[in-house]
Structure 1
Amino acid sequence: MASSPLVARVRGRQGAGRNALKAHDVRHHHPAAVAAVVTAAIAAAGKAAGIGLAVGGAPIPVAGFATLTVIFSVVGLVLALVLAPRARRPRTVFVRTTLVLTALSLVPDVLMLTHLAAAAMVIPAIARRRAA
């Protein structure tokens, strides 16, 4: 972790490490939070327009879109962390893997747009932080 500029700056300060590292963590989660709000807004707009938000007959609450976006963003982050030491080109492998998984998750209704919106925000944000 010494390669991170934030960690290098933090190590140079006494007592600032814990707070500075928390700020660093929040920054990594920010794209997932934005994606969660966007997917919930898309779902709410779809519901208001009369588009059904059900899978297999079970309705999905609007907040469920935000929750699952955050959960699967964390899954994406874990995937990136697992790939980092194993792949020769972790960013490329991560982007290709997540694009394939995103394509597989698409179903022909409002879910498609929410998946694409979340993926468009979260994949590049995580990929920028991975080694090429």
Structure 2
Amino acid sequence: MDSMDDTGIVARPASRHTSHTHRLRGLAVTGVIATLAAMVATTLAAALAQAVGVDFEVPDGGEAIPLPGFAVVTGFFSVVGIVIAVALLRWSARPAERFLWTAVSLTAISLVPPLISGANTATTAALLALHLVPAAVMIPTLARSLRTRTD
């Protein structure tokens, strides 16, 4: 319902487009902050694993995974998660639920390569844990953000 005050200006509720854009932008900002936190947490966890003797050498490449590589890969796949969350917010009736199922499924699939890499037990265990660290940061953060943006 439009109302008019004595200045002749018509007050209207915020347009659906503006509200939707605000929700998408808020989700993206939350996602970027969570991505930075996931990158730091994963890199610190990898450094800790190296400090206790994990070599991160994968037989196929013959070289050890460098510490900055953990941050780069975490950043890349976290951004993929943000894109999925934004798409679900845009096109799904239940984005938080769909995101949760999608992200958990993709995380489970991501555990397969370390298991079949042929790396030693310590490296395999550390790589599995390092897949779960960013998931523990990104999934709850984005799912919670999707819930609060659709209520």
Give the TM-score taking structure 2 as reference length: 0.66
Q: 1:24 to 1:126 in 2, by over 3 A?
A: closer
User: 1:123 and 2:128 equivalent?
Assistant: no
Q: 1:97 to 1:24 in 2, by over 3 A?
A: closer
Deviation at 1:102, TM superposition (A): 0.6
Unaligned runs of 5+ in 1: 9-20
Choose from 59, 62, 83 the match for 2:64: 59
Aligned residues of 2:27 and 2:86 also touching (Cα < 8 A): no
Question: Hey, what's the Cα distance between the residues in 2 that align with 1:7 and 1:117?
Answer: 29
- Between structure 1 and structure 2, the one with the greater Rg is 2
Matched residue SS, 2:53: coil
The residue type equivalent to 1:47 in the other structure is Q
Matched residue SS, 2:19: coil
Question: Hey, what's the Cα distance between the residues in 1 that align with 2:94 and 2:84?
Answer: 14
Deviation at 1:26, TM superposition (A): 4.7
Question: Hey, what's the Cα distance between the residues in 2 that align with 1:52 and 1:99?
Answer: 28
Question: Hey, what's the Cα distance between the residues in 2 that align with 1:113 and 1:92?
Answer: 24
Matched residue SS, 2:18: coil
Matched residue SS, 2:131: helix
Question: Hey, what's the Cα distance between the residues in 1 that align with 2:18 and 2:140?
Answer: 23
Report percent identity of matched pairs: 36
Deviation at 1:94, TM superposition (A): 0.8
The residue type equivalent to 1:114 in the other structure is L
Choose from 89, 106, 109 the match for 1:104: 109
Deviation at 1:82, TM superposition (A): 2.0
Deviation at 1:58, TM superposition (A): 3.2
Give the ranges of 4+ consecutive aligned residues of structure 1 lying more than 3 Å apart after TM superposition.
Answer: 23-28
Q: 1:27 to 1:83 in 2, by over 3 A?
A: closer
Question: Hey, what's the Cα distance between the residues in 2 that align with 1:97 and 1:36?
Answer: 21
Report the counterpart of residue 16 of structure 1 in structure 2.
none
Report which structure shows greater RCO (CA 8 Å, sep ≥6): 2
Report the counterpart of residue 70 of structure 1 in structure 2.
75
The residue type equivalent to 2:37 in the other structure is V
Give the TM-score taking structure 1 as reference length: 0.75
Deviation at 1:86, TM superposition (A): 3.1
Q: 1:27 to 1:84 in 2, by over 3 A?
A: closer
